[in-house]
Amino acid sequence: MNKTACDPGLVDRQDCILVVIDVQEKLMTAIDDRERMVANTTTLVKFCGICGIPVVFTEQLKLGATLRQVKDAARDFTAVEKTHFNCFLNDEFSGAVARTGRRTLVLTGAESHICVAQTAIPAVPRWRVYVISDAVSSRSPENKAIALQRMRDAGAVISSTEMFIYEILVKAGTDEFKAVLPLVK
């Protein structure tokens, strides 16, 4: 049994899905602290590939393709195109998430105060929602800060890239831990 299954505050690897929201060429040029956000998102995508955690990508129409480094980090890349800010208002996205059979969303992407927040806040009653604070951003740090607070107030758990990774790994010394170590060093 996965030790985190008994810990309601920790992420359970058997129940989570990574959602990468709109990490796109045209949008990223305006995003605050984009290098860090993109690097952490890329790390999370690689990590989920190693650990067998499903990843769903979205692309807001007319904002270009998902950044090459994020695509290349994925074992299997397919993006859901959308026009709504709330990803769940897109049937293809809702279906992709439902097909995983998992109940915990781990959110990354942009913008924190628009698509990430509008996906997270209404999802809280139906899903466990984790927002990876160092893998989301907005054009301004103020909007990111407000978005993180609103999502927390709504019931989302605010976490970080390393917190998520180590909660999934549970312990050191395993082959999986050794495979992941280069991602966090």
Query: Does 7 or 65 have the greater pLDDT score?
Result: 65
Average pLDDT over residues 91-112: 97
Q: Which residue has the higher pLDDT, 78 or 9?
A: 78
- Examine the pLDDT at 143 and tell me if it is beyond 90: yes
pLDDT of 7 above 70: no
Strands (E), 23-177: 55-60, 79-82, 104-110, 128-137, 157-159
In a domain, 3, yes or no: no
Task: Name residue, tokens 């709330």.
Answer: 86
Q: Please give the pLDDT value at position 9.
A: 82
Structural domain boundaries enclosing 147: 13-184
Domain of 103, CATH number, reads 3.40.50.850
Question: What local confidence, expressed as pLDDT, does residue 185 receive?
Answer: 83
Percent helix / strand / coil, the chain, rounded to 5: 50, 20, 30
170 φ, ψ (degrees, to nearest 5): 70, -45
In a domain, 36, yes or no: yes
Q: Note whether residue 4 is domain-resident.
A: no
**Distance between CA atoms of residues 179 and 171, nearest Å:** 13
Global pTM value: 0.94
Question: Which of the 8 DSSP states describes residue 101?
Answer: T
> Is residue 5 domain-resident?
no
Q: What's the number of domains the chain is made of?
A: 1
Buried-exposed string 43-60: b where 16+ CB fall within 10 A, e elsewhere: bbbbbbeebebbbbbbbb
* Residue-wise pLDDT tens digits, 16-61: 999 999 999 999 999 999 999 999 999 999 999 999 999 999 999 9
